[in-house]
Amino acid sequence: MNPVVEVVDLAKRYGDRVALAGVSFTIEQGETFALLGPNGAGKSTTIEILEGYRRRSGGEARVLGADPGSGGLAWKARIGIVLQSTTEAGTARVREMLTHVASFFPNPRPIDETLESVGLMDDAGTRISALSGGRRRRLDVALGIVGRPELLFLDEPTTGFDPEARRRFWQLVEQLKREGTTILLTTHYLDEAAALADRVAVIAAGRLIDIGTVDSIGPDEARIPIVRWHDAEGAHEQRTEQPAMFVAGLVSAAGGEPRDVEIRRPSLEEIYLRLIGDEAFE
């Protein structure tokens, strides 16, 4: 099966400024792929090229088997997009806007099902201009999924969501995955990427730094578990590939269990920060 998204040596220049410098990756059918990086890294440029909104300067890109720079209406009907900005629609009401957008697609999701999935059923008759920022963001998500896209672009989708709304959105993404939807996600919430993504790619200064599963990216030493504990001499921390044996050795040496023993693996956020380092500021 061909990849849903295939990018080879993707490049984008604005005069003398290089926004993308030879980025390559693939996204398989049904995969949730997170593209991570600091502001200005090239994430939005990459996504806009793949959505067909921006021309590339070099390299190759294929999305759902087509060049996104020349995709027609039939191709566009197969993708869904949730942009960073929120919906502006004057005096339109939530259900009216969703029904209008659904009419553009050959097999849209039922309106009530879509409203329920994003927690907007109670706001179906509310004017969009009267929605809070977080609820407008939910409408953006609803507009992105109502067409039953094969490929869904989620660009910072949970900005403005409260913790409960974020968790509900995560459940929606899992539902979309079960339905076979391929998802390209950008987010600054690293716990969100860790919870949702099958694979992640880290980009900085227009270059792809690392790519792989959440548990595999980063240098080997950065993924070594950390043991923390307290004793009479204070707080201690030690990286070890065999944390259980290390703790057993502490117990044996101390003649009893040290206080506040904690074994943890480095989080995606810790590994991400180590990966980007100074490259985000070059």
For residue 277, is it within any domain? Answer: no
Phi–psi pair at 89, nearest 5 degrees: -145, 30
Judge if 250 and 202 occupy the same domain.
no
- Using a cut of 0.75, tell me whether the model's pTM lies above it: yes
| pLDDT exceeds 70 at position 164 | yes
Is 209 in a helix, a strand, or coil? strand
Check which CATH number belongs to the domain holding 33 and give it: 3.40.50.300
SS3 content of the chain, % helix, strand, coil (to 5): 35, 30, 35
- Comparing CA positions, the residue from 222, 228, 201 lying closest to residue 213 is 201
Contacts of residue 260, Cβ cutoff 8 Å, sequence gap at least 6: 228, 229, 230
Helix (H) or strand (E) holding 274: helix 268-276
Does 174 lie in the same domain as 259? no
Q: Are 205 and 142 within one domain?
A: yes
Percent of all residues in the chain with a pLDDT value above 70, rounded to a whole number: 94
- List the domain range (segments joined by +) for residue 234: 225-265
Residue 275 lies in a domain: no
Q: How far is CA 155 from CA 16, 127, 141, 169, in A?
A: 27, 24, 10, 14
Q: What share of the chain has pLDDT > 90, as a percent?
A: 50
> Is residue 110 in some structural domain?
yes
How many structural domains is the chain composed of?
2
> What is residue 125's predicted lDDT score, i.e. its pLDDT?
94
Same domain, residue pair 13 and 86: yes
